[in-house]
Amino acid sequence: MKQTVAIIGAGETGAGWAARFRVMGWDVRLFDPDDMARGLVGAVLQQARRGLPGLSDVALPETGDMVFCQTISEAVDGAVWIQECLPERLELKRKVFQKIQEHCDRRAVIASSTGTFTLAELQGCATRPEQIIAAHAIAPIYLLPLVELAVNDVNSPEVTARAKEVLQGIGMAPVDQQGEERVSVALQNALQTEADRLIAEGMATADDISDVLRYGLGLRWAASGLDASQDAVLVAMLRALKAQDAGAGAVLNRFDATQAEPVLDIKQPLPTVTRTVPLDWTDYNGHMNEVRYLQAFGDATDRFMEIIGCDADYIASGGSYFTVETHIRHLDEVHAGARIRVETQCLLGEGKKMHLFHRMYEGDRLLATGEHMLIHVSLDTRRATVPADHIAARLGQIATAHAALDLPDGAGRAVGEDR
């Protein structure tokens, strides 16, 4: 059965909590005296819907309902969790806690988002202080799992257990607050204070400081906190950033762009990929995962497209090739650190069609073949169209030259066919 959360105060923090609870399947009741809050909540919810469910490799529950309420009493009606997200003014919070407790269920958990006040201060004037805890998260609350959880002797063990259960149930990782300070606030302030000092003393610009974090320190801290990081974890993060062309990943892309490309002889299969198998491409079987074979073949197809003129500029102008069919044969294993290369033979290149055959090698050892049918499309209509003349001409040249080559072993095969 769906559970209900009340969010009191729908600024950035309230919107973030509302979005996380709702995407995780909770019904959400919001109260904010400012009608403008609706726009912000809608925008944050849209972000959360794009980002959060994809973090899971399983299906999340159906998204819950959301209601904007006119009063606090209406908002907390039926709520088993009440998240207070008001401005950091103690008297305001205390007044609202009293109001909440006039109307809410005695068994509900009331969690404050405060990054400033101690739990004892928050409980100070409450009717039932045992119901009040603090749960402090950082933006974007709908993506980052961190939540600092403060409970004390006034809370019952049931409230404490229930708080952890709810927070874990919405995908968060509660970190128990040991004292009165929020660790995230203290660390962030310490770093910001030092950054301000370095800037004031002319030791660094704000950009320099961001670079030092993005290219080095932040990666280590994200991978493993204050402990030494594992290479595979750093490599995986760096490669994720590379795919986004962000942070340290943008440095890697700039480096790649400086490396020389092989000379092309169009009478032979074209060298379209030469690379090393990354640490994060291996799987539980101890070898390169099947998905990464297709990733290398996909890169080979991208490179072939570039060679015939279907590059980033052309794609931006509205034309591209879509893969409609793929056949892969896995012939031999390969491991992290091995240098692999892909050679690409064009089996057909006329009209809307492009039929490619990739062979992947480590040295002379044939590891896999990939056969792909691609169709040229208009990115506006998403329908098949013929490519621009210069692309048709270049593709035609290569297809004609490759027609003189032998048909590769394995081309035209169906899965499970006798060899």
Q: Shortest approach of its own copies to residue 35 CB, angstroms?
A: 26
Q: Shortest approach of its own copies to residue 278 CB, angstroms?
A: 3
Q: Shortest approach of its own copies to residue 113 CB, angstroms?
A: 14
Q: Shortest approach of its own copies to residue 339 CB, angstroms?
A: 7
Q: Distances in Å between the alpha carbon of 359 and those of 289, 300, 314, 409?
A: 17, 10, 27, 10
318: left (phi over 0), alpha (psi -120 to 50) or beta: left
| Residue 74 vs 211, nearer CB to its own copies | 211
Q: Shortest approach of its own copies to residue 353 CB, angstroms?
A: 8
Q: Shortest approach of its own copies to residue 15 CB, angstroms?
A: 14
- The torsion angle over the Cα atoms of residues 408, 413, 417 and 419, rounded to 10 degrees, is 0
**By the 8 A CB rule, do 280 and 239 touch?**
yes
| Residue 92 vs 315, nearer CB to its own copies | 315
| Residue 75 vs 296, nearer CB to its own copies | 296
- Which residues, including other chains, have CB under 8 Å from residue 132's CB and lie 6 or more apart? 97, 110, 111, 112, 119, 122, 123, 126, 155
Element (H, E) at 76: helix 72-76
Q: Distances in Å between the alpha carbon of 66 and those of 30, 41, 236?
A: 8, 10, 37
**DSSP codes of every residue in 262-276:** PPP-TTS-EEEEEEE
336: left (phi over 0), alpha (psi -120 to 50) or beta: beta
- Residue (of 147, 38, 145) closest to 83 by Cα position: 147
Q: Shortest approach of its own copies to residue 312 CB, angstroms?
A: 7
| Residue 89 vs 197, nearer CB to its own copies | 197
| Residue 72 vs 163, nearer CB to its own copies | 163
Token digits for 417? 């066919």
The span from the CA of 340 to the CA of 363, in Å, is 7
| Residue 58 vs 404, nearer CB to its own copies | 58
Name the residue with tokens 């209900």: 4
| Residue 127 vs 244, nearer CB to its own copies | 244
| Residue 312 vs 404, nearer CB to its own copies | 312
